[in-house]
Every structure is written in C-alpha cells, then in structure tokens.
Amino acid sequence: MIKNSTIGNCKPGFQKKRFQKLKKGELNIAFEIDLHGKNLIEAENFLDIWLPKLQMEDNLVGIIIHGKGYGSGPEGPKLKNFVDQYLQYNPNILAYHSAQQKDGGTGAVYIQLKKIN
C-alpha cells in the first residue's frame, strides 16, 4: 500500500536525462487531467479515453492530479494507488513520477506518453 510517498517509474530504454527532467518538473506540460471526485471505475474509463486522444494529438507530457487520499480512510489513498498501478502497466506510458510541490506534490504525477508513429 502506498501512503503519501513518492511514486515513479521509468520504462527500459527511456532516456535517464529526460526522466530526471520529468521528475524535476522541467518539461513543458501539454495537458492536465484532474481525477478528483472520481471513483476507481470512472478514473480508469477517463484515462482509457483521454490518454489515447492526447497521444494522437502529440500531447505527450502532462500531469494527472489524483489527490493525496486524505478522504480514503484507513485503507490509504485508493485513487493514488490505482493511478500508480495503471501507469506502471500501461504500455503507452514511458515514465511517470510524483509532481514537484508547486504542481501538487504527492497528490499529482507527471507522465510521459509514448509517441505514436
């Protein structure tokens, strides 16, 4: 279970320098997705619809706001845990990392989508 800790992952072959820039919030953010107020099924459907659209439009770097899970109860941050698992296993995500404090800290995550040829 993820508490309010940092999450992040970089797929093999993704440039380490670019991942460092993503982690530091130094890449231009092309989109923002806010999942506040959505349950897990709604969040999954939302991501399944919007991430491919953003990829097709070549909007490849963005931020997903999932919140810190303070209202999730003793089980911990459900939406944050879901987003971590979703991004980890989605083949179209090259890298992701918890946002810098100015962009939401552990309540948000920067993502890098794979470019579609």
Q: Which long-range contacts (CB under 8 A, 24 or more apart) does 10-14 make?
A: 10/94, 10/95, 11/93, 11/94, 11/95, 14/94, 14/95, 14/112
pLDDT of residue 4: 56
User: What helix, strand, coil percent values describe the chain, rounded to 5?
Assistant: 40, 20, 40
**pLDDT of the residue at 100:** 96
Euclidean distance between CA atoms 16 and 103, whole angstroms: 22
DSSP, collapsed to helix, strand or coil, labels residue 40 as: helix
Residue 24 CA to residue 10 CA, distance in Å, equals: 14
Are the beta carbons of 83 and 76 closer than 8 angstroms? no
- Tens of pLDDT along the chain (117 residues)? 444 577 788 988 899 999 999 999 999 999 999 999 899 999 999 999 999 999 999 999 999 999 887 766 677 678 999 999 999 999 999 999 999 999 999 999 999 999 987
Cβ pair 40, 85 in contact under 8 A:
no
pLDDT on residue 2: 47
Report the distance separating Cα 1 and Cα 95, nearest Å.
Answer: 20
